[in-house]
Structure 1
Amino acid sequence: MKAIIVDDEKHVREAIKLLVPWNEFQIEEVLEAQDGQEAIQSIMEHQPQIIFTDMMMPLMGGMELLEWLQHNYPTGKTIVISGFDDFQLVRHTVQHGGVDYILKPIDAEQLHAAVTKAVDCWNREETERHGQRQRNIEMNQIRPVYWDKLFSNLINEPSGYEAAAAPLAGEFGIGPDLRECRLAVANIHTLSAKVRDKFKTDQDLLFFSITNICNEILRGSRQGVAFRYWNSDHEIVLLLYGAAIPPLKLMESVQAGIETALRSSIDIGISQPVPFPAGLTEAYHQARLALRRRNLLVSGKAVHPYQEKSASNPLLLSFSDFAEQIRLAVRSGSTEQIERSVHLWIEAVNRLESITQEQLEHWRDEYRLLRSRWLLEWFGEQAEMNAKPEQASFPLPLDASGALSVALWEQQLSAELSELSQLMLKRQHQDNNVIFEIAKYIQNHYHQDITLQEIASHFYLSREYISRKFKQEFKVNLSDYISGIRAEKAKLLLLNPHLRIAQVAEMVGYDDEKYFSKVFKKIVGFSPNEYRKVNQP
């Protein structure tokens, strides 16, 4: 804390300095002034908390100083030390906020009590001021979020306007006379990559910065208000209700403000005029659709007004038309074939004069559906294990200005498909290995009661998977494969005349001699007895 002693007599100032135990009150600096004018200059510069002043001084006395303090420095606590026992002076002291009035010569105990009272009063008020500052800070942090959520809810439920009408009128001047408005949508994804990377770890700060820039322009001219749309993680919505500036020109001013502050502009979609508040939901969809229909091949940022589009307007290009070429290239395992098939697709894209976000989303959906089918074809029941989200994306790289880079897109799509191809080949190799392991297992255990379920349990695979993969590799059902192995072994055993047919059947895995004979004849063309006679040495 600091204190100042204002008195034109030096010995009085020295007496006060000696009588007050400054350390006890945590007063670290004691200033001095000879009159009121000098005191005012020092108070403005050093901001002391405790002020001692005489009443009768040249140039400016204590009465005038008290009046100045009350109007210009009310937080300071003043103790008057005077040689005049005058009621008017005491009354003036009380009226203008003085803590105490002490007569000269100074009594040490009275002075100590007065300083105690002044310091306690200042500390108590400072605690209150600090609490109020904290409450103000918290309110300043909460208020924007409150308005953001209120406006966001109005877009989804315009009927909620009646409950919010009074605060909206008081804060933004949105009263019952407002009949028509527009909505604009700014998407932070359309900012330059440099800006998005800068705020990558603090998206809230990016939203705060842009909404502040927008509101400086909109609220300053009473033309509207900008807010973060809480139902989206990348949109700022601007409610436009003023008529002084044309909406398109106003949005260009907003773009210019963002460009100046962030060194990057932003695309903005703007709706047609709609009734307020009933049309807010429709206006939001119009503004958002205007953004989705912008031409991504154009590098410069713009304001995109909503325009009706014919529902019969066909999509210009379908990714599915190139799907079979790309699928075969991926199956081939050849990076060159993959790049060639993707290049054919990109050549078709390059012939387009315009590419919109709507078109990109359609291509993305086509790609994801086709990729899911390919995974199911190549990996069967384990397709989901290979359908990682980062691999299922449809790469849409943007250049530094936020425009679509078709060349980079070609590179990334080729790389992703090549990765998928390698994954397929690796899986195919693993499948082949396990199928040959199963075949080897059958050859070593043909004489046992081998079933598909027993094999599935032994190799921790499903019966359906084994059946499908085994037939793909050996072109024969698993059961027929087992029967074939047993028939070949039985042929050798039948050459031994000392073995009965029942013994041969048991030795190759059949408990029923008749069933063995039936299966053997079906495969070899002869019954076991006929085969033995024909092939008797």
Structure 2
Amino acid sequence: MRVLIVDDEKHVRDAIRLLADWEKHGITEVMEAADGEEAVLAIQQTPPQIVLTDMRMPRKDGAELLTWLHASMPEIKVIVISGYDDFDLVRHTIRSGGLDYILKPVVPEALDEALGKAVEAWRKEEDQRLSLTTKLIEMNQMKPLFLDRLLTDLTMIGSGQQGLLKQFGQQLQLPPEIRTCCLAVISDIHFDSELLMKFRSRRALLIFTLINICMELVKDKGTAFRHMDKPGLVVILYWGAPDTFHSILERINEGMYTTLRRQAHFGTAQAEVFPDDLPRSLLNAEQRLLHRNLLQKNGLIHSERCGESGTSRAPRLASYEEKFRMAALSGSPSKYEAAADEWLQEVRQHAWLTPEMLIRWNSEWDWMQQHWAEPGESHEYVPLEDDEINLDFPVILPLDRDGLLSWEDWRFQLTGRLGAASRVLTQSHSRENHIIHDIARYLEHAYSEEVSLQDIASRFFLSREYISRKFKQEFGMTLSDFLGQLRIGKAKMLLLNPSLRIASVAEMVGYQDEKYFSKVFKKLEGQTPNEYRKAQST
């Protein structure tokens, strides 16, 4: 803590230095100034926490210094030490925030008491300032999530949109005069597997990139946010002129191509009454995106639902169950390809194919795989309703860079899944041949990468549910726990090298956050990485 003594008489400054018990109050530095003007310069260069000042001084006197401090640096605590018992001076001291008024000659006890009060007051206010700063930092970190949550609620049915808008309108930074708005959605499942695998489990980074590009171009005419209840979905609200909306979306796609070398498909709708129509508009925009035709390159902005996308006409993958099962039991890659080609041949007869159909067929495949793996249990397939399509995990659809169907990628997916099914159906009881142990061996080599359950499901052509269930049966723990133990085991070896920083060790075993790494390490080992390192070095 730092104190500034301001007095035009040096012997007074020396006396105060001698009389005060600085160490007792935690004061480590004492500065001096001969008048108010010199004091202002000193404070501006090295601000003290406490100022002890005389009142009668040449140039800028104590009263002027008090006025300046009260206006410019009110957090500094001021004690007046004066030889004048003047009511006007005392009143000015109080009005300017001074804590005490001590008369000369200075009595040590009075000075000590005044310093104690000043130190206590400053520390109390400093704690409050630090607490407020911490809260502001936390609020700034949470603000994007808070705004995303509010905007998400604004698009939900039964959320009391008008009341929400009235209560949080200022935080949402929406113009009060909005009467109608255009809405568009982007979903990350409409990108190709190459881009999705590039971001892998950093899905949030892809969404963050998309939102930044959108916000850059809608500017003060709209906003973009991550839908908190529908992972992978970005929503754009645009309250500018409706006839400029499509041109804005086209410019957004130009920005996306520059950044990601990809363009997005948009589902769009108009909210005729804002915000009441937002829930219906969001649903319409999502449906238009899910029902777009993957076989025709007819633009990237989808304003209408495809007229032929009814699921009643779509062939059912489950109708090919026996053919697929026999191909899997054959163990022959050529049979896998033949079964896949037969299915694809039937699908090729249709003039339309939508993302929704692919998602439903993916669900059917998961059902078949579970049915084959556990024949003793009853598994009845129930087709999904529109509101049952769950995209909580990123589905990787067989799409090309333009977001259209890639027959080659789809054939690769189908033959891969048949091969995986063959392993499940015909595997021996040997641990070495069990497909779940292939996954374990993969993790032993990929532990330093960001690995998600969806990554593994895509790589091994198995459903997430099957992998989770079988992994726990085989190893007595979840896949996540297995990976955590594997990483911490590798970390323990690396920690034996004193040249490696703990942050580097964390990164080398797959943890980007050192604090989270330490938390996991302590949970499994009962001590922090640093404590473990010290224990091993003794």
Q: Which runs of 5+ in 2 are unaligned?
A: 380-393, 430-538
Q: C-alpha separation between the residues in 1 aligned to 2:264 and 2:284?
A: 18
Q: In the superposition, relative to structure 1, how do residues 20 and 151 fare at CA in structure 2: closer, same or farther (>3 Å)?
A: same
Q: C-alpha separation between the residues in 1 aligned to 2:309 and 2:364?
A: 20
Look up the match of 1:523. Answer: none
Q: In the superposition, relative to structure 1, how do residues 312 and 11 fare at CA in structure 2: closer, same or farther (>3 Å)?
A: closer
Look up the match of 1:69. Answer: 69
Equivalent of 2:301 in 301, 304, 314: 304
Q: Could you tell me whether the CA contact under 8 Å between 2:150 and 2:172 is conserved in 1?
A: no
Report Cα offsets for 1:41-71 as digits up to 9, x if no partner.
4333433211122334455333332222112
Q: C-alpha separation between the residues in 1 aligned to 2:21 and 2:108?
A: 10
Instruction: Describe how 1:280-359 pairs up with structure 2 within 5 A.
Output: 280-293=278-291, 304-311=301-308, 326-343=324-341, 356-359=354-357
Instruction: Describe how 1:85-484 pairs up with structure 2 within 5 A.
Output: 85-137=85-137, 147-157=147-157, 160-172=160-172, 178-189=178-189, 192-193=195-196, 196-197=199-200, 199=202, 203=204, 221=220, 223-243=221-241, 246-251=244-249, 267-293=265-291, 304-311=301-308, 326-343=324-341, 356-365=354-363, 367-368=365-366, 375=372, 380-382=375-377, 396=397, 406-426=407-427
Q: C-alpha separation between the residues in 1 aligned to 2:93 and 2:258?
A: 54
Q: C-alpha separation between the residues in 2 aligned to 1:16 and 1:268?
A: 74
Letter in 1 for 2:202: F
Look up the match of 1:42. Answer: 42
Q: Could you tell me whether the CA contact under 8 Å between 2:33 and 2:39 is conserved in 1?
A: yes
Letter in 1 for 2:30: V
Q: In the superposition, relative to structure 1, how do residues 265 and 136 fare at CA in structure 2: closer, same or farther (>3 Å)?
A: farther
Q: C-alpha separation between the residues in 2 aligned to 1:395 and 1:247?
A: 29
Q: C-alpha separation between the residues in 2 aligned to 1:312 and 1:401?
A: 20
Q: Could you tell me whether the CA contact under 8 Å between 1:158 and 1:280 is conserved in 2?
A: no
Q: In the superposition, relative to structure 1, how do residues 395 and 273 fare at CA in structure 2: closer, same or farther (>3 Å)?
A: closer
Report Cα offsets for 1:93-126 as digits up to 9, x if no partner.
2221111223333332222122112112212222
Q: Could you tell me whether the CA contact under 8 Å between 2:162 and 2:275 is conserved in 1?
A: no
Q: C-alpha separation between the residues in 1 aligned to 2:402 and 2:308?
A: 31
Letter in 1 for 2:307: S
Q: Could you tell me whether the CA contact under 8 Å between 1:295 and 1:355 is conserved in 2?
A: yes
Report Cα offsets for 1:423-447 as digits up to 9, x if no partner.
334589xxxxxxxxxxxxxxxxxxx
1:342 deviation in Å? 2.9
1:72 deviation in Å? 1.6
Q: C-alpha separation between the residues in 2 aligned to 1:323 and 1:231?
A: 34
Report Cα offsets for 1:384-432 as digits up to 9, x if no partner.
6xxxxxxxx997466899886654543343232123224334589xxxx
1:185 deviation in Å? 2.2
Report Cα offsets for 1:482-501 as digits up to 9, x if no partner.
xxxxxxxxxxxxxxxxxxxx
Secondary structure at 2:99 match in 1: strand
- TM-score, L = length of structure 2: 0.61
Count the aligned residue pairs: 411
Q: Which runs of 5+ in 1 are unaligned?
A: 385-392, 429-537
Secondary structure at 1:156 match in 2: coil
Q: C-alpha separation between the residues in 2 aligned to 1:183 and 1:408?
A: 32
1:328 deviation in Å? 4.1
Secondary structure at 1:109 match in 2: helix
Q: In the superposition, relative to structure 1, how do residues 161 and 412 fare at CA in structure 2: closer, same or farther (>3 Å)?
A: closer
Look up the match of 2:28. Answer: 28
- Measured on the aligned residues, the alpha-carbon RMSD in Å equals 4.6
